[in-house]
Structure 1
Amino acid sequence: MPHRTRPMTGLLVFMGVNLVLASTITPVYDFVCFHPYWERRRERLRKEREAVTANSSQST
């Protein structure tokens, strides 16, 4: 074997990376989900739906 295997070091590095990722998921999730872009998009889509509904009811 060209190098020594170090299972404990590998396990500690793996657990450390998972701990960092798990601790940063909440702020990232909050930033993405509660970004003002989504609120503006929801309002724009609602207005477009209302306009289509109003146009279809006027034409019939």
Structure 2
Amino acid sequence: MGKYVALALGIVMTMAGALVAFRAFGWIEGGAMEGEQFWGTTGAILAGLGVALVVVAIRPPQSR
């Protein structure tokens, strides 16, 4: 069950981070975040962490 929660959370983090970064970089118009470096960096970091969480969630268990 925890694997599916981590996968869903990773997907949501990736999508939200990408949306924030794209709005901050001006690739999606509108909003107060446009042109703000802080939000661009924050969104990119959030998206990167979301991708990392997805990768960890879908990796098969390693045998010892």
Larger radius of gyration: 1
Task: Between the two structures, name the one with larger relative contact order (CA 8 Å, sep ≥ 6).
Answer: 2
TM over 0.5, shorter chain: no
Greater helix content: 1
Provide the TM-score with structure 2 as the length reference.
0.40
